[in-house]
């Protein structure tokens, strides 16, 4: 199949950079420092001709992070966590500095990942016989799993077409103001790992005024956004550091308000900490600070907007759309995560396993199937609230499984996400891949 969009490439001022994009996004020039970063810290991407589009799944490690780890561990006695204790304390302080959190108000509990941090809250939170859990349906499965510990659970469904949740709906679910009474826990993601929707952080104060502690899942938000805990004050924040800067894996944390700490009890931190890797968190945070989160956020916003424009305007020969996007199609209050399905000319969904296989063969990393947010996936599939509650009770583990249970096509969605090393030529390469492999292709047509 031939592309009907070659003009985007032929008129580019620089290789891989469409002139139309550069003209409509002049601020992109201010992010050129990230091109230099890619050439130095992430040169392996271009050396291997690899297109990485799964930053919501995991960040990429910079070369200097690995080098710093090797320099440090060469001077550590094997099997001696005591020698790394000062470095672990430095990492705690680095986390608090990055979140602009006062050590008098917050403390850091290291865990294996954000999922372990959420489970720690669920297992220890004093729900009692009447404690409520209120959560949005686009929470990650690890946060949704807290419902097994609560006496009652209320799920606030996202609403089509953008799969957002209105503040008025949140207020209705939480009830009237009762700051003098502890009602339970309210949990939501700062950014949805499925749609990229960024929920209002003002919900934190709304919930606290109504007697709820707040668990904020920041795992998908922090890689490209700043969270200032001096301005917003959730009681619990869950983080996976590999999602932010790729390395180290196996290290996350629960950032907890000291006045909420007593509700979870003592000895929260596992005695077998990953003492060889936790100090690497400080290295990653230093690199992030040197690069500039705002710079990353700006570039990701430009790339996401361009990707959405390109993807949603792709058409088959008969004029039907090539893709169906789940969530907002603009960059307003959303991050660099886009979930979608590819369609054939008759509107049938192409199997995501086929998309994944052909992407892998083309040297492209993306997420296909489930994204860890069962409620968001089923809302996108237009299930009614009763069906959604049934799927949550069923205990499905991810979007793909939820769709399988519901008897829906394709086993999930395709998810593309951008990060610090991403560039506009990455968008163009992926769009060219879709045009080449899936334009005018029937769902039952072999490769």
Joined together, the tokens standing for residue 426 give 């990455």
The full length of the chain comes to 447
For residues 366 and 356, the answer to whether their CB atoms sit within 8 Å is yes
Instruction: List the beta bridge partners of residue 413.
Output: 369
Which is nearest to 336 in space by CA: 229, 225, 414, 426?
Answer: 225
Instruction: Give the pLDDT score at 335.
Output: 98
Contact indicator for 34, 45 with CB cutoff of 8 Å:
no
Please tell me the predicted confidence (pLDDT) of residue 379: 56
Distance CA 447, CA 360 (A): 14
Taking each helix axis from N to C end, the angle separating 280-291 and 293-313, rounded to the nearest 10 degrees, works out to 70
Could you tell me which residues come within 8 angstroms of residue 313 by beta carbon, excluding any fewer than 6 positions away?
A: none
Do 248 and 241 contact (CB within 8 A), yes or no? yes
Listed residue (331, 337, 329, 334) closest to 312, CA to CA: 329
pLDDT (tens digit, 9 = 90+) per residue, 398-423?
444 444 444 444 568 999 999 999 99
Contact 132, 183 (CB under 8 A): yes
Asked whether the beta carbons of 334 and 308 are under 8 A apart, the reply is no
Taking the C-alpha atoms of residue 143 and residue 125, their distance in angstroms, rounded to an integer, is 13
* 255: helix, strand or coil: strand
Kindly report the number of other CB atoms within 10 A of residue 128's CB atom. Answer: 10
d(CA 252, CA 285): 13
Residue 232's pLDDT is 97
CA atoms of 218 and 316, how far apart (whole Å): 38
Task: Give whole-number Cα distances, 343 to 219, 313, 323, 324, 387, in Å.
Answer: 30, 13, 5, 7, 25
How does pLDDT run across 145-156, given as a tens digit for each residue?
999 999 999 999
**Interhelix angle for 280-291 vs 33-40, to 10°?**
140
pLDDT in tens, the chain (447 residues): 334 443 443 344 567 899 999 999 999 999 999 999 999 999 999 999 999 999 999 999 999 999 999 998 887 765 667 777 889 999 999 999 999 999 999 999 999 999 999 999 999 999 998 899 999 999 999 999 999 999 999 999 999 999 999 999 999 999 999 888 889 999 999 999 999 999 999 999 999 999 999 999 999 999 999 999 999 999 999 999 999 999 999 999 999 999 999 999 877 887 678 888 999 999 999 999 999 999 999 999 999 999 999 999 999 999 999 999 999 999 999 999 999 999 999 999 999 999 999 999 999 999 998 766 765 555 555 555 555 555 555 544 444 444 444 444 456 899 999 999 999 999 999 999 999 999 999 998 877
DSSP output for 22-34: HHH-GGGGGGTHH
DSSP state of 147: G
How far apart (Å, rounded) are the C-alpha atoms in residues 83 and 72?
11
Rounded Cα distance, 382 and 213, in Å? 31
Residue 236, token pair as written in the block = 């619990």
> What's the pLDDT score for residue 399?
41
Residue 245: name the closest of 419, 423, 70 by CA: 419
The answer to whether the beta carbons of residues 269 and 392 sit under 8 Å apart is no
Separation of alpha carbons 429 and 395, rounded Å: 38
Nearest to 115 by CA among 264, 227, 221, 217: 217
């Amino acid at each position: 199949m031939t592309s009907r969009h070659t003009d985007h490439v032929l008129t580019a001022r620089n290789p891989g950079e469409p002139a139309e994009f550069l003209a409509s996004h002049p601020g992109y020039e201010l992010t050129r420092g990230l091109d230099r970063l890619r050439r130095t810290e992430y040169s392996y991407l271009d050396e291997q001709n690899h297109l990485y589009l799964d930053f919501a799944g995991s960040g990429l490690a910079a070369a200097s992070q690995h080098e710093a780890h090797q320099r440090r561990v060469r001077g550590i006695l094997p099997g001696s966590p005591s020698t790394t204790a000062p470095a672990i304390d430095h990492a705690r302080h680095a986390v608090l500095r990055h979140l602009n959190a006062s050590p008098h108000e917050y403390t850091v509990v290291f865990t294996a990942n954000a999922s372990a941090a959420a489970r720690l809250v669920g297992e220890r939170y004093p729900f009692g016989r009447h404690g409520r859990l209120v959560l949005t349906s686009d929470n990650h499965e690890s946060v949704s799993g807290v419902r097994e510990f609560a006496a009652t659970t209320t799920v606030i469904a996202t609403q089509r077409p953008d799969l957002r949740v209105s503040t008025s709906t949140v207020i209705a679910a939480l009830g009237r103001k009762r700051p003098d009474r502890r009602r339970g826990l309210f949990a939501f993601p700062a950014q949805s790992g499925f749609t990229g929707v960024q929920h209002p952080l003002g919900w934190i104060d709304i919930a606290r005024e109504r007697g709820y502690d707040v668990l904020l899942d920041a795992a998908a938000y922090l890689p490209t956004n700043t969270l200032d805990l001096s301005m917003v004050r959730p009681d619990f924040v869950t983080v996976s550091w590999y999602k932010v800067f790729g390395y180290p894996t196996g290290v996350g944390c629960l950032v907890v308000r000291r006045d909420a700490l007593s509700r979870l009890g003592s000895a929260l931190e596992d005695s077998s900490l990953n003492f060889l890797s936790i100090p690497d968190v400080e290295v990653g945070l230093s690199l992030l600070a040197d690069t500039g989160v705002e710079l990353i956020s700006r570039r990701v916003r430009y790339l996401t907007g361009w990707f959405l424009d390109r993807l949603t305007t792709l058409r088959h020969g008969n004029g039907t759309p090539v893709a169906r996007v789940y969530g907002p199609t603009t960059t307003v209050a959303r991050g660099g995560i886009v979930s979608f399905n590819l369609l054939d000319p008759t509107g049938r969904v192409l199997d995501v396993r086929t998309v994944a296989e052909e992407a892998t063969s083309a040297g492209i990393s993306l997420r296909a199937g489930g994204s860890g947010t069962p409620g968001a996936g089923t809302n996108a599939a237009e299930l009614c609230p009763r069906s959604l509650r049934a799927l949550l009770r069923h205990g499905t583990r991810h979007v793909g499984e939820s769709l399988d249970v519901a008897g829906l096509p394709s086993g999930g969605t395709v998810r593309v996400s951008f990060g610090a090393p991403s560039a506009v030529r990455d968008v163009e390469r992926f769009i060219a891949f879709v045009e080449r492999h899936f334009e005018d292709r029937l769902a039952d047509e072999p490769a």
